Structure 1
């Protein structure tokens, strides 16, 4: 089930990159990022109302973790820039390559407080395939 969820994330990413990019052709990329995040805020607010999740019951959250909002804005703006220049497939492919490489490092080293999942030689072919596929897309 988790693998299917991961595949669904990939599908959603391709749709999101496409729609963000199209939106940014109608309005500038910064206003499109604003719209994306405002609609996201409204969506999660409705979900919280529906599931009746209490606000403020979380324990103390380190301040640096709130920087994730900055990463979200950067992702939207950068995907809009890439979309306009290199299209959806190469934007998603290069993003996947970056995600794969950094996530392997994060897992292996336990960075950001994550549990360590040691990198094994068996994972190398997967990373090589992602790299090769991305390289082929860039060349052709």
Structure 2
């Protein structure tokens, strides 16, 4: 149950962040909005880290260097999401974003990329993605 609650919180925050970034970017620019967003996210994460202290700092040596650039994806995410919101609106942007996430996660699960255990995808999973795509198309048109 906890996982579902956190997933809903994350989804809500993605939407709120996209809308806030879109508004900020209208006033100061997309890359400036991305910079502010990444910086404030860093400050919050650092504050939580200092308060909670639930990890191991010596574990950095064990992380593959490729994975340490994960935060850099945030800049691309912000730019892409803000640009899309300006062009196609919040609802369609978030819908397309979720479909893209699900399609990529299916590929990751099917191929076992990034060290995840391979999962077999069956017709119901592909039907679910197809229904989501159909729903977004109906929503858009």
RMSD in angstroms over aligned alpha carbons? 1.6
1:69-90 deviation line (CA, Å, top 9, x unaligned): 2211100111111111111111
Unaligned runs of 5+ in 1: none
In structure 2, the residue matched to 1:82 is 84
In structure 2, the residue matched to 1:70 is 72
In structure 2, the residue matched to 1:96 is 98
Aligned residue pairs: how many? Answer: 139
2:52 pairs with 1:31: no
Alignment of 1:39-54 (within 5 A): 39-53=40-54
Pick one of 122, 132, 135 that aligns with 2:134. Answer: 132
2:139 pairs with 1:118: no
Q: What is the alpha-carbon distance in structure 2 between the residues aligned to residue 55 and residue 23 of structure 1?
A: 35
TM-score scaled to structure 2, two decimals? 0.89
Cα deviation for residue 137 of structure 1 reads 3.1
Misfit runs of 4+, over 4 Å: none
In structure 1, the residue matched to 2:21 is 20
Cα deviation for residue 132 of structure 1 reads 0.4
Q: What is the alpha-carbon distance in structure 2 between the residues aligned to residue 125 and residue 3 of structure 1?
A: 22
CA contact (8 A) 1:97 1:131 kept: yes
Moved more, 45-54 or 60-69: 45-54
